[in-house]
Structure 1
Amino acid sequence: MKEDITIPKVEGVYVAIVNEYNDIYKTQDWNAYIINDKDVDLEMVLIVTGGYSKDKITSTFRKKLDKLPKKSYAKIELMHEDLFKINNTFKVSFFEGNKMFDKTYLFRENTINLKALQALPLMQVKGVLVK
């Protein structure tokens, strides 16, 4: 029975943490984004985030996007720098056509920092990327 279930591999969908200027509050903020670098729209995108370490667990945050158009990105959440000291997971589920896809993106503790910034697909900024 289990061998009848196929779980398709997620490709072309990424999670990135970006350090950007906030015009309203005049601060440098860290924001999490989901990037759809595919040539198809993603439907019913569900994102569940949380952080953990050996002795700490954060609360769970959930976000739903009805549609994430092809070759686009969307902001998930603002992230406080204290979270970078622990592991941060982004569990992403979505439909592409009639198939459901699921992947967990993990930012390991202390890997989100200014030294780790790199060019991001589709976005004209640098950030920390998990594929």
Structure 2
Amino acid sequence: MAKIKASSHEKNFDESEHNAQGRDMANCPVTTAINVIGGKWKVIILYQLRGQTLRFGELKRVIPKITQKMLTQQLRELEKDKLVKRVVYAEVPPKVEYTSTELAEKLNPALDLLCAWGSEYEKAHQSE
């Protein structure tokens, strides 16, 4: 069975892998979306960038549990995937700003739904 790999940070999918309805999961748009924005940090980074421009240090402050190395890696991947625009200013020390792209902004309704669902989930589990 052949393996396909769309990019360095995506999981391998078996071309013959199908779901219960016989759909090819390797070519499923949901698979593409999860490959691009999946993981622990990308959605959080995109959520923090919505409607604003932040510098690296500002992003690190609003996402305190992410390491500097991981933030750098995730921003590079988001930039490569055209979800984040990186602007470097010729200053000393260097000033770098990150902004979500128009493509990333199209995720805002989904981010709103995830936020609302997260609140509902927290409420449902408070009594436990």
Q: Aligning the two structures, in what range does the TM-score lie when normalised by the shorter sequence?
A: under 0.3
Higher RCO (C-alpha 8 Å, min separation 6): 1
Greater share of residues in strand: 1
Greater share of residues in helix: 2
TM-score, reference length from structure 1: 0.24
Q: Which of these two proteins has the greater Rg computed from alpha carbons? A: 2
